[in-house]
Structure 1
Amino acid sequence: MTAVAAPLPASAGRSRHLAGTGALLRLALRRDRVMIPAWVLTLGPAVAAMGSSFEAVYGTAAQRAALAASMNGNGSLRALYGPVFGDSVGGLVAWRMTGLGAVLAAVMSLLIVVRHTREEEETGRQELLSAAMVGRRAPLTAALLTALAANTALALMIAGGLTASGQPAEGSLALGLAIGCAGLLFAGLAAVAAQLTESARPAKGLTGAVLGLAFALRAAGDAADPSASSPLTWVSPIGWAQNVRPYAGERWWIVPLFLAATALAVLASYALTARRDLGMSFLPARPGPAVAPRSLSGPFGLAWRLQRTTLLGWTLGFLCAGGVFGGIAEGASDLVGGNRQTREIVERMGGQQGLTDAFLATMTGMLGMVAALYAAGAVLRLRGEETGERAEPVLAGAVGRLRWAGSHLVLAYAGTAVILASGGLGLGLAYGLSADDLGGKLGPVLAAALSQVPAVWTLTGPAVLVLGLFPKATGAVWALVGGCLAIGWIGPSLKFPRWAMNLSPYGHLPKLPGTDATAAPFVWLLALSALLALVGLAGLRRRDIG
């Protein structure tokens, strides 16, 4: 008799696709043993500490009610921070930190997921792992479980910290869930992007573009409707997080909405990964010509080829963001009217040179702080080329280390000026057209945006320093940039002392447009940036590559 093998049950097939998930999860958690705690232990306590800060600055119920009324009556400030749903201490914490926390959780999640999926394939490590007992869906599952662990820890840290500080437990849990669920949703979107793109950098860029669009839609929707009921707000996951409304009649039904959207994104990523080969993508690069153009004959041409798409995306994003905020700048003065408290808030953020100019200064400052993310990423692309073993073939030819590094650093430093000029152009054009004075408004706003360049370069210098002397500590670069972003975002509204604001290079810049500026702060910042970069290049010249 001939033996007939019984077909495997469906559950066995599913388990085969997930084989090795536990081992990959343990590996991912080990590799992220510094990065994940750094994110969670920085963002979680920062949110929890906001309660005591608001109690110190706005100690009475009348002061908090006046603040809430002032913010809700100003479309320009609603676009920046969102509406205030509750005037309790917890409600103000939710107003100030839900949007920012959701953005930071999303960034954390996309970095985790892309690192353990597309980046593993790009470097060839996933092919080695797949030669063992590793199922097709195991790497993606391990990456998503790592992101789930990170966002769960973040949500619990926020909820527990706020409850321990005396805030209502229900609202604290709602705020933690709002931020954590936003991070989970972008983990799912990053998983989809990792299947669509051919390498880690486009995957991060695509997910980052979706995040930027979500923020812009939320800002436009909140500027139009103080109740956060605009359709533009509801198509943005950041708007969903705000509409959970912690400490203000929590909308718990939005949490299942987050989970359903996340499940759809995860299912889409599983469907895509089942239909592609390892290392392949659904948006592959076009085949290049048989003969390389003359532009690729040197290291700068190669660096431009590698970074031009990212630079173009940032440039267009800043142009659009500048246009959105420039269009509402003219209404800042009209909406505030004679409200003294709102005027003081805006002036602390952008200076005392007039409400509209203060709002424009705040916007150019925000553009400058966000531009540091581009600059850091452009510098650290050198580390990616190094660890991906693509630098050695270049350096094996007639290309020195400094020439190779300089080709990428030119794009990091010059690209910063380009994207800030783009943001200033969009801001100035929109503001000038709305004020019917394009010729008189465009120049000062553009100059104000470019005045942020020395501060961004001052943060670029430490990135070069870390690359040259401590290449394995590149996470410290993102921590430094994130810290400066946090100081600039929450410092003015909480009346941080001058010494705390000066910890960030942006605290040393004049508030432009509308004020007189001297050359001294720009010179000192540029000198510091140059010194740090030179020390980093000296270290790169002497250390081992790889």
Structure 2
Amino acid sequence: MTALAAPAAVRPGGPRHLAGTGTLLRLALRRDRLMIPVWVLLLGLSVVATGPSFASLYDTATKRAELAASMNANGSLRALYGPVFGDSLGGLVAWRMAGFGAVLAAVMSLLIVVRHTREEEETGRQELLSAAMVGRRAPLTAALLAALVADAGVAVLTAAGLAVSGRPVGGSLALGVAIGGTGLLFAALAAIAAQLTESARLAKGLTGAVLGAAFALRAAGDASADGGSPLTWLSPIGWAQHLRAYAGERWWVVLLLAAATALATAAAYALTARRDLGMSFLPARPGPARAPRSLGGPTGLAWRLQRTTLAGWAAGLALAGAVFGGIAKGAASLVDGNQRTREIFERLGGQQSLTDAFLASITGLLGMVAALYAVGTVLRMRAEETGGRAEPVLAGAVGRLRWAGGHLVIALVGTAVVLAAAGLTLGVAYGASVGDVAGGTGRVLAATLAQVPAVWTLAAVAMAVLGLLPRAAGAVWALTGGCLALGWFGPVLRLPQWALDLSPYGHLPKLPGGAVTAAPFLWLTALSVVLISAGLVGLRRRDIG
């Protein structure tokens, strides 16, 4: 019984179905009092700080025009960043930040919505709340409003910060709306996923898959034609960029974002009105009557719980690797008479050849994305704990360390598997384009796997927080987002080295092509061991639940 119509005597749109929304919203904001401000500040300030960076690098109109022409002439860079619609300082900020800012806002929004909808049902807390004066639609409404608060904060901080720094008000407002509006659209899509799936993990995975597909469509569309193609307009990420902040704003794109958000929100409300609390439209299939031998231990159980997620992440990153590997060869054409463009990629990917610098920036990006998988896999233990599923396991002959060790094995080994899949397709696609599949695959695969220690470090941080400060587990996502922002935006913003070193990715060599020393890999691995050990000690001593 996964989908039941609401009784005729109870109208889903009635006011009482929103009863308690304000209380639930205050509760959600209180629970996210750390995560939301950190996300908003990091994302908003990263966008604002891009302006002064470009002003110091390209201090004349001629230099900015040369940069814009070079970027638009190369399909590889259009796929990575999108086209440049305006060569003003504001136009360069929009080019650099609109797409990736929209992606980060989408990640923030889906985490907020799933946490306060499906995760609440999965743990049983929503059933207790619904037994009081809480309307049927109140939890979903409160979650969407919490996401709205966060996305509005990003939009306001971005627009106000850029306007105060001297950028035109209209373009500043357009860029803020593009980033915040995209985040709000994915909040609504996450609300749909929360109705379709039976677990928070699957809801996040489904929404993340939609986000990945949107980025891939945008990249493919922008790579195929300067100014975009029909594929670009199938992606909300493409809409954010093609609002064209600081370059003759297309305000009608805001209506497109608003219409899509309204439709997705309406679909989420329609779905939540037609299912029982705790149920879903895509329920898990019943298992066999007898458990296989693989479920005889905690590692086998963790593998059974996580295998679908691992397969999805591996397939998604493998597809991304194939796309970027196929266009890497074209990056070398940018060096023709444009030293400024070379400097950007040298900061992102190192001082080696421009093709290697492009590949290094892509392997770094894949490593940062893989951190989302690793952290989510570790935090699955917290979901098992709060959902009451860990206690029956631990009541038997399974100790806490063995139980946690099973999940850690899947997280750490799974990280290597996910990055290996991405590195293999990236290397094969690049090697095929240059006529050296074996050589290209080996170099690129090794460079991608070099990201593993940094990902392990973030997974270890999640384990330490889970063991020592379990109530702050949600803040790990904000910390992870901050490290990703430092790793991706920090070099372009010319942040000081001490700031870049706050992220584990700042310690890794730029591969392929860069100088390799064992020290950063050993130090990051040692730090991961220390953090995981601290988390396991804390887990062993604290109360479960």
Shorter-chain TM band:
over 0.9
CA distance in 1, matches of 2:311, 2:172: 40
CA distance in 2, matches of 1:455, 1:31: 28
Shift in Å, 1:309: 0.9
Indicate conservation of the 8 Å contact 1:468/1:539, yes or no: yes
Residue identity matched to 1:52: P
Indicate conservation of the 8 Å contact 1:122/1:279, yes or no: yes
1:4 aligned partner: none
Shift in Å, 1:224: 1.7
1:142 aligned partner: 142
1:134-165 deviations in Å (ceiling 9; x for gaps): 22222212222222222122211211111122
Are 1:280 and 2:298 matched, yes or no? Answer: no
CA distance in 2, matches of 1:318, 1:379: 19
CA distance in 2, matches of 1:179, 1:484: 19
Shift in Å, 1:338: 3.7
1:102 aligned partner: 102
2:192 aligned partner: 192
1:81 aligned partner: 81
Count of equivalent residues: 538
Indicate conservation of the 8 Å contact 2:45/2:158, yes or no: yes
1:518 aligned partner: 517
Indicate conservation of the 8 Å contact 1:74/1:332, yes or no: yes
The 1:10/1:408 distance shift into structure 2, 3 A limit, reads closer
CA distance in 2, matches of 1:529, 1:335: 39
1:248 aligned partner: 247
RMSD: 1.8
Shift in Å, 1:283: 0.5
1:46 aligned partner: 46
The 1:344/1:542 distance shift into structure 2, 3 A limit, reads same
2:403 aligned partner: 404
Indicate conservation of the 8 Å contact 2:215/2:235, yes or no: yes
Name the SS of the counterpart of 2:493 in structure 1: coil
1:27 aligned partner: 27
1:329-348 matched pairs, under 5 angstroms = 329-348=328-347
1:390 aligned partner: 389
CA distance in 1, matches of 2:58, 2:343: 13
Indicate conservation of the 8 Å contact 1:73/1:336, yes or no: no
2:451 aligned partner: 452
Indicate conservation of the 8 Å contact 1:90/1:167, yes or no: yes
1:220-252 deviations in Å (ceiling 9; x for gaps): 11122221x311111010000001111110000
Residue identity matched to 1:21: T
Residue identity matched to 2:199: S
Residue identity matched to 1:135: G
Higher relative contact order structure (alpha carbons within 8 Å, sequence separation ≥ 6): 2
TM-score, with normalisation over the residues of structure 2? 0.95
Shift in Å, 1:423: 0.4
TM-score, with normalisation over the residues of structure 1? 0.95
Residue identity matched to 2:439: G
Name the larger-Rg structure. 1
2:491 aligned partner: 492
Residue identity matched to 1:104: L
The 1:238/1:406 distance shift into structure 2, 3 A limit, reads same
Greater shift in the superposed pair: 304-313 or 153-162: 153-162
1:342-386 deviations in Å (ceiling 9; x for gaps): 222222211222121111111111111111111111111111111
The 1:84/1:449 distance shift into structure 2, 3 A limit, reads same
1:270 aligned partner: 269
Shift in Å, 1:267: 1.1
Shift in Å, 1:74: 2.2
CA distance in 2, matches of 1:542, 1:13: 48
CA distance in 2, matches of 1:38, 1:285: 35
2:4 aligned partner: none
CA distance in 2, matches of 1:251, 1:350: 33
The 1:12/1:533 distance shift into structure 2, 3 A limit, reads closer
Shift in Å, 1:13: 5.9
1:428-486 deviations in Å (ceiling 9; x for gaps): 11111112211221111111111111121122222221112121222342233222211
Shift in Å, 1:10: 9.9
CA distance in 1, matches of 2:529, 2:217: 38
Indicate conservation of the 8 Å contact 1:25/1:146, yes or no: yes
1:17 aligned partner: 17
The 1:249/1:329 distance shift into structure 2, 3 A limit, reads same
Q: Which runs of 5+ in 2 are unaligned?
A: 1-7
Greater shift in the superposed pair: 315-324 or 54-63: 54-63
CA distance in 2, matches of 1:318, 1:48: 30
Q: Which runs of 5+ in 1 are unaligned?
A: 1-7
2:351 aligned partner: 352
Greater shift in the superposed pair: 480-489 or 373-382: 480-489
The 1:336/1:407 distance shift into structure 2, 3 A limit, reads same
The 1:9/1:533 distance shift into structure 2, 3 A limit, reads closer
CA distance in 2, matches of 1:521, 1:24: 45
Are 1:415 and 2:414 matched, yes or no? Answer: yes
The 1:223/1:110 distance shift into structure 2, 3 A limit, reads same
Shift in Å, 1:500: 2.9
1:148-167 matched pairs, under 5 angstroms = 148-167=148-167
Residue identity matched to 2:528: S
Shift in Å, 1:516: 4.0
Shift in Å, 1:50: 2.1
Indicate conservation of the 8 Å contact 2:46/2:485, yes or no: no
Are 1:130 and 2:125 matched, yes or no? Answer: no
2:90 aligned partner: 90
Indicate conservation of the 8 Å contact 1:70/1:336, yes or no: no
Shift in Å, 1:11: 8.4
1:3 aligned partner: none
Shift in Å, 1:34: 2.5
Name the SS of the counterpart of 1:278 in structure 2: coil
CA distance in 2, matches of 1:258, 1:123: 33
Residue identity matched to 2:367: G
Indicate conservation of the 8 Å contact 1:75/1:335, yes or no: no
The 1:322/1:334 distance shift into structure 2, 3 A limit, reads same
CA distance in 1, matches of 2:536, 2:16: 48
1:176 aligned partner: 176
CA distance in 2, matches of 1:76, 1:12: 49
Indicate conservation of the 8 Å contact 2:66/2:338, yes or no: no
The 1:12/1:381 distance shift into structure 2, 3 A limit, reads closer
CA distance in 2, matches of 1:441, 1:167: 43
1:300 aligned partner: 299
Greater shift in the superposed pair: 502-511 or 318-327: 502-511
2:508 aligned partner: 509
The 1:455/1:13 distance shift into structure 2, 3 A limit, reads closer
The 1:13/1:253 distance shift into structure 2, 3 A limit, reads closer
